[in-house]
Amino acid sequence: MDLNNIKNGYFSDLFDSVRYVLLEEDNEIPLVHHFKTVVQEEFVYVSDIHLNNLSKYDLNGNLITILKSKGQGPKEFSQIEDFQIVGDTIIIYDGHLGKLIYFNQKLEFIKEIKHNFSSTNFYRGKNFNLFSLNNFTNSQEFKFVKINDNNNPSQYFTVTNQNALGKVRLLHGFVKSSNSTEISITLPFSHNIALFKEDGNLKAIKEFEFNIDEVEEIRGQIKIINAFIPFDEFYFLTVFFGKNGFQILLDQNSETKYIGKKSH
């Protein structure tokens, strides 16, 4: 993929419309450091990486309620490593306490499930949980674990990652395509994407190669894939080379449709 062949343009060149939503703020419990956002048909969910709260808004940005971190006891969580909305259920993963906590849309506690390992991102499948152990045990490897609901032996998947620099919590985490069965996640400090099948088993590792004339090193990370997001008709890929960020659209065959650049 040639990053020298770029276009200067606007989002309006690619999309029919762009809608900005101003989120209402609670004066007593502000949104200090937004981290992950999930937008669904009726609601918007935003996690705060500083206060470890989860805020729920309507599509106009009106604040509905806040699910607050309260402690380390039963039915409580102290931090949000990741979260997922499955139907009418909110699932929060507390990596520090090693448990998944389930709430309904009224923020009423349903159940919690404990795990005896440290992880960062997770994905809830039909009858399994998938976790990224994220270089926790070996800096040269990236490990995933699949835990089935029927208590079958856990399945571990290991991917070599020689450029790994340590444990990382990914902003986007696991992403499920709306029109396919694939589940994808970026591998930190690499050009690789891990693809999982609908049953949670590892399908393949997709590797991208980039050509660029000048590379500026910054904070030891000169080439990273920041996001790989599937849409109905294309993939949205963002790549950082030093201070330069590239936005790339790929078709369903991973052929390049558009490359844009934003300099910081």
pLDDT the model gives residue 143 = 84
Question: Is residue 3 within 8 Å of residue 211, measured between CB atoms?
Answer: yes
pLDDT the model gives residue 166 = 60
Q: Answer positive or negative: Cα dihedral of 111, 37, 225, 175.
A: positive
The answer on 62 and 28 residing in a single domain is yes
The answer on 130 and 227 residing in a single domain is no
% the chain with pLDDT above 90 = 39
The answer on 214 and 234 residing in a single domain is no
Q: Give 123-166 pLDDT, tens digit per residue.
A: 999 999 999 886 554 556 788 999 998 867 678 888 776 555 56
pLDDT the model gives residue 221 = 47
Q: Give 165-205 pLDDT, tens digit per residue.
A: 566 778 889 998 777 788 999 887 778 899 999 999 999 99
Q: How many helices (H) and strands (E) are present in the chain, helices listed first? A: 0, 20
Mean pLDDT of 106-110: 92
The answer on 82 and 197 residing in a single domain is yes
pLDDT the model gives residue 162 = 57
The answer on 6 and 87 residing in a single domain is no
Residue 85 has pLDDT above 80, yes or no: yes
pLDDT the model gives residue 165 = 58
The answer on 26 and 10 residing in a single domain is no
State the Cα–Cα distance between residues 121 and 113, nearest whole angstrom: 15
Domain residue limits at 9:
1-19+223-264
Q: Which of 34-38, 153-157, 221-225, 229-233 has the lowest mean pLDDT?
A: 221-225
The answer on 143 and 133 residing in a single domain is yes
Structure letter (DSSP) for residue 77: -
What order of strands is seen across the sheet that includes strand 34-39?
34-39, 43-48, 54-58, 63-67
Residue 225 has pLDDT above 50, yes or no: yes
The answer on 218 and 177 residing in a single domain is yes
CA-closest candidate to residue 222, choices 234, 235, 212: 212
Q: Which of 72-76, 77-81, 156-160 has the lowest mean pLDDT?
A: 156-160
The answer on 191 and 240 residing in a single domain is no
% the chain with pLDDT above 70 = 87
pLDDT the model gives residue 212 = 77
The answer on 251 and 161 residing in a single domain is no
How many other CB atoms are there within 10 angstroms of residue 48's CB atom? 21
Residue 11 has pLDDT above 80, yes or no: no
The answer on 14 and 50 residing in a single domain is no
Number of domains in the chain: 2
CATH of the domain at 172: 2.130.10.10
Residue 224 has pLDDT above 80, yes or no: no
The answer on 151 and 27 residing in a single domain is yes
pLDDT the model gives residue 158 = 82
